[in-house]
């Protein structure tokens, strides 16, 4: 953590309102060149998918503020407000394109709705939430009741929406009706902005993934009813809407097998695998460097480098992109590094998938810093997550939990062959936690019991640690159907110790070069630790014919022979080093250990 220089700036964290951000903050990233891309994009409807907290809603708010026609209560155009907006945008990056300001600023009727708050376990709750969204959209344009161009039929229909007295058919056609009314009043086609369109479906699938059994016929019927609601709503709004100038839809995932955009004319899509809008969502290297300079963090190279290791690592369209939410929170918190992004919303869908047995080989590879090859399909199939590792990787990729090192388009012209890895330290913590949770489930231990088990080791009570480990392996006996599964469990156990020890009181390293070789695990106390004990752990997997005690002793001998303790000796606060050799075979384990001072 570092003291930031001067602090002559203000940061508004959490606002998704563009006007509030640019008028009340002095430290923000100017993304107005997105407007230029939108104006030049030839697609009638554009679907942009990005991870959560990557600026989607803020950008949609910016588009609304830029394009929408400011109107007084009497339905006349507010030229004074339009002039104020022109002054604001002319000082931003889009101001370098005066023709765009002249032709488009404050001159397109705009409808903006967000599905962010539409969640629920029943159809009735979801439909009710959608009704509230539509009610708010109509109240935004209440001036239409004063319009001299709308007839009584249109005004009576408008009143049904602001009194919440509209039926299902009217709900499904609500944005089409509002488009028609705006077109009637202004004589211009409308821009429709739909933010976080997939939230209702993501929430539903998270609930289903938690269940052991497949959907019952009743549940499937219910889900199909939810899909039908949004399919009709989006279809009527965006398909064959003769009053539509352009539609822009944002979300996290492109949901396949839902047919939500079937038949939409000239639909364009931009995901994290594309280049066209890469620089407009998330922060580029140049933008981050500018932020660091403004707040003085660039005067502390070690802090700036740590910030980048914590929050960058995303490769989008050939650009290095940073997580914007984490960057701004880190700056606001005076350079304190911690996980800001991963706790900002429900990650149940991710968390429940990561602890499934079938994914552990690849997950441990990712945690160890490796990469996994996958077939990336922008059209997500949620139902396949339990059975298909590739479906899980798609969820992780498009949700921002892994990033593509390499991207090559497949022969079908639709999918992409990618090698993916964990992007940064913040996200790696999610995977390490999932490994701990998986081990806890195999050991049939709750988090409190497992933490006590780790604390036995850290306090130097190795005999108690060994006793508990043996009991854990005994209850996990059903998992040892093959050598591969056993190896996963042993490696996961070591990573579980790693993840459980990582805190402000310990340096923890797994398989790092020390002396003449690499130790499987090093746990070194900091000055703040209540226990001045360091640990070196080396584990081996024995065959059924080998003597476990002998193998454990050989692991301990390897620690001494290869001088794994050499690095620890540099830490003057360490009063004792405990070297531990573990030998596993099936559900059995033997441990040899030695203390040195």
What are 468-510's pLDDT values in tens digits?
Answer: 999 988 887 565 555 667 777 888 888 788 777 767 788 888 7
Mean pLDDT over 318-335 rounds to 90
Comparison of pLDDT for 279 and 301, the residue scoring more: 279
Q: d(Cα 55, Cα 400) in Å, to the nearest integer?
A: 13
Comparison of pLDDT for 487 and 585, the residue scoring more: 585
Structure confidence at residue 516 (pLDDT): 53
Number of Cβ within a 10 Å radius of residue 232? 16
Whether the pLDDT of residue 217 is over 70: the answer is yes
In the chain, which residues fall in CATH 3.90.1570?
Answer: 444-596
Whether the pLDDT of residue 44 is over 60: the answer is yes
Mean pLDDT over 353-369 rounds to 83
> Of the given ranges (318-322, 326-330, 484-488, 540-544), which has the lowest mean pLDDT?
484-488
Structure confidence at residue 329 (pLDDT): 92
With a CB cutoff of 8 Å and minimum separation 6, the contacts of 96 are none
Whether the pLDDT of residue 257 is over 60: the answer is no
Q: Is the Cα torsion angle 354, 359, 364, 370 positive or negative in sign?
A: negative
Q: In the CATH hierarchy, which top-level class contains the domain 444-596?
A: alpha beta
Structure confidence at residue 493 (pLDDT): 84
Comparison of pLDDT for 254 and 429, the residue scoring more: 429
Mean pLDDT over 236-241 rounds to 91
In the chain, which residues fall in CATH 3.40.50?
Answer: 32-270
Structure confidence at residue 212 (pLDDT): 59
Whether the pLDDT of residue 261 is over 80: the answer is no
**For helices 483-501 and 360-367, angle between their N-to-C axes, nearest 10 degrees:** 40
Structure confidence at residue 465 (pLDDT): 93
Comparison of pLDDT for 69 and 393, the residue scoring more: 69
Residue 433 is encoded by which pair of tokens?
């936690």
Whether the pLDDT of residue 280 is over 60: the answer is yes
Is the separation of the CB atoms in 49 and 398 below 8 Å? yes
> Of the given ranges (29-38, 231-240, 434-443, 552-561), which has the lowest mean pLDDT?
434-443
H-type alpha helices, 319-461:
324-332, 348-354, 360-367, 389-399, 425-443, 447-458
DSSP 29-46: ---THHHHHHHH---SEE
Q: d(Cα 345, Cα 75) in Å, to the nearest integer?
A: 39
Whether the pLDDT of residue 1 is over 80: the answer is no
User: pLDDT-derived band of residue 511, with 50, 70 and 90 as boundaries?
Assistant: low
User: pLDDT-derived band of residue 14, with 50, 70 and 90 as boundaries?
Assistant: confident
For 121, 272, 379, the CA distances from 254, given in Å and listed in that order, are 21, 12, 5
Structure confidence at residue 344 (pLDDT): 63
With a CB cutoff of 8 Å and minimum separation 6, the contacts of 321 are 278, 281, 282, 283, 284, 312, 314, 315
Structure confidence at residue 94 (pLDDT): 98
Mean pLDDT over 216-222 rounds to 73
Whether the pLDDT of residue 176 is over 90: the answer is yes
Residue 87 is encoded by which pair of tokens?
């002054």
Q: What is the pLDDT of residues 461-477, one digit of tens each?
A: 999 999 999 998 888 75
Number of Cβ within a 10 Å radius of residue 464? 15
CATH 3.30.70 corresponds to the domain 32-270:
no
Is the separation of the CB atoms in 1 and 336 below 8 Å? yes
Strands (E), 463-559: 506-509, 512-514, 517-519, 521-525, 533-541
Q: d(Cα 33, Cα 52) in Å, to the nearest integer?
A: 21
Residue 414 is encoded by which pair of tokens?
């639709």
Mean pLDDT over 55-72 rounds to 97
**Mean residue pLDDT across the chain:** 87
Whether the pLDDT of residue 171 is over 60: the answer is yes
Q: What is the pLDDT of residues 135-167, one digit of tens each?
A: 999 999 999 999 999 999 999 999 999 999 999
> Of the given ranges (387-396, 443-452, 546-555), which has the lowest mean pLDDT?
387-396
Structure confidence at residue 259 (pLDDT): 67
Q: What is the pLDDT of residues 98-110, one digit of tens each?
A: 999 999 999 999 9
């Amino acid at each position: 953590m570092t003291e930031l220089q001067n602090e002559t700036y203000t940061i508004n964290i959490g606002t998704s309102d563009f006007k509030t951000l640019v008028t009340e903050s002095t430290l923000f990233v100017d993304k107005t060149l997105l407007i230029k891309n939108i104006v030049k994009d030839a697609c009638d409807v554009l679907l942009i998918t990005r991870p959560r907290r990557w600026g989607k809603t803020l950008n949609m708010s910016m588009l609304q503020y830029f394009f929408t026609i400011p109107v007084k209560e009497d339905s006349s155009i507010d030229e004074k407000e339009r002039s104020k907006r022109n002054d604001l945008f002319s000082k931003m990056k889009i101001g370098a394109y005066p023709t765009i300001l002249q032709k488009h600023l404050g001159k397109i009727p705009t409808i903006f709705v967000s599905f962010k708050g539409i969640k629920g376990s029943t159809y009735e709750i979801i439909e009710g939430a959608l009704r509230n969204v539509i009610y708010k959209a109509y109240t935004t344009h209440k001036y239409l009741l004063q319009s001299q161009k709308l007839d009584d039929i249109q005004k009576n229909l408008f009143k049904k929406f602001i009194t919440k007295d509209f039926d299902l058919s009217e709900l499904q056609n609500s944005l089409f009706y509002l488009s028609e009314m705006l077109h009637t009043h202004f004589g211009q086609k409308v821009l429709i902005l739909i933010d976080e369109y997939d939230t209702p479906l993501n929430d539903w699938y998270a609930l289903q993934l938690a269940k052991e059994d497949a959907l019952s016929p009743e549940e499937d019927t219910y889900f199909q009813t939810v899909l039908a609601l949004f399919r009709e709503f989006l279809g009527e709004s965006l398909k064959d809407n003769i009053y539509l100038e352009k539609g822009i839809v944002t979300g996290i995932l492109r949901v396949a097998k839902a047919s939500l955009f079937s038949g939409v004319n000239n639909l364009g899509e931009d995901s994290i695998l594309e280049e066209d809008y890469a620089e407009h969502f998330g922060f580029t290297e140049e933008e981050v460097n500018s932020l660091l300079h403004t707040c003085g963090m660039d005067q502390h190279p070690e802090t700036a480098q740590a910030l980048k290791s914590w929050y960058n690592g995303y490769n989008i369209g050939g650009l290095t992109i940073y997580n914007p939410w984490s960057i701004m929170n880190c700056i606001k918190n005076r350079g304190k590094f911690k996980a800001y992004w991963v706790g900002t919303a429900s990650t149940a869908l991710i968390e429940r998938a990561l602890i499934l047995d079938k994914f552990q080989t690849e997950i441990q590879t990712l945690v160890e810093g490796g990469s996994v090859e996958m077939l990336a399909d922008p059209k997500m199939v949620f139902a396949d997550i339990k059975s298909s590792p590739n479906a899980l990787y798609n969820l992780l990729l498009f949700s921002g939990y892994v990033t593509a090192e390499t991207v090559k388009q497949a022969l079908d012209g639709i999918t992409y062959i990618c090698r993916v890895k964990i992007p940064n330290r913040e996200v790696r913590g999610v995977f390490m936690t999932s490994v701990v949770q998986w081990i806890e489930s195999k050991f049939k231990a709750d988090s409190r019991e497992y933490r006590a088990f780790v604390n036995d080791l850290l306090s130097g009570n190795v005999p108690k640690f060994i006793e508990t480990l043996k009991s854990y392996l005994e209850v996990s006996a059903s998992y040892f159907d093959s050598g591969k599964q056993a190896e996963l469990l042993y490696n996961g156990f070591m990573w579980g110790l790693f993840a459980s020890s990582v805190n402000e009181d310990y340096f923890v390293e797994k398989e790092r070069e020390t002396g003449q070789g690499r130790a499987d695990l090093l746990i070194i106390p900091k000055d703040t630790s209540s226990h001045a004990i360091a640990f070196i752990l080396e584990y081996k997997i024995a065959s059924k014919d080998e003597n476990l005690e002998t193998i454990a002793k050989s692991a301990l001998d390897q620690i001494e022979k290869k001088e794994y303790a050499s690095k620890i000796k540099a830490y003057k606060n360490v009063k004792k080093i405990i070297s531990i050799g573990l030998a596993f075979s099936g559900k059995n384990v033997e441990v040899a250990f030695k203390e040195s001072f």
